[in-house]
Structure 1
């Protein structure tokens, strides 16, 4: 990545605002299950690569992409990857 398009690796707590915009609530305390390896953990515990346009949310155990949040002119959009389930 060049300086014009840099990203940071952070934990899932950074998703509170974007997910709140999409779902109207902070879902970082919900449990996400990876269909790739079966790991279940709070969304806040995921590994997130975030930049000004998107957040790629990965399983902390196997690094598969659970889902991607995209920021667009029409608002946020969720693209599901290996997210098998999400719940309390």
Structure 2
């Protein structure tokens, strides 16, 4: 992905990192306060990682990087990340 795409393009890396679909999770940008689902974030990637940016102010919300045998993530631009609890968990 050389051009930015919507947050649905990050569904795979997000699921790999969190162990579940996170595209509907609500995030609050630490810079501008925008609240919205990760599916609406602007995504750049995949190399050297997947970067999710706020669609309003372009703040880096989250970065996910896959390395041999592990995955690393940072969330410097998220004030809050909220997702419903799955039934039976």
Question: Please, what TM-score do these two structures have when normalized by structure 1?
Answer: 0.86
Structure-to-structure mapping, 1:16-31, within 5 angstroms: 16-31=11-26
Q: Give the Å deviation of 1:8.
A: 3.1
Structure-to-structure mapping, 1:1-88, within 5 angstroms: 7-88=2-83
Q: Say which structure is richer in strand.
A: 1
SS of 2:36's equivalent in the other structure is: strand
Structure 1 unaligned regions, length at least 5: 1-5
Check whether the contact 1:65–1:82 (CA below 8 A) recurs between aligned residues. Answer: yes
Q: Give the Å deviation of 1:82.
A: 1.1
Q: Count residues in correspondence.
A: 83
Which 4+ stretches in 1 moved above 4 angstroms? none
SS of 2:13's equivalent in the other structure is: helix
Q: Give the Å deviation of 1:14.
A: 1.1
SS of 1:56's equivalent in the other structure is: strand
Structure 2 unaligned regions, length at least 5: 84-89
SS of 1:8's equivalent in the other structure is: coil
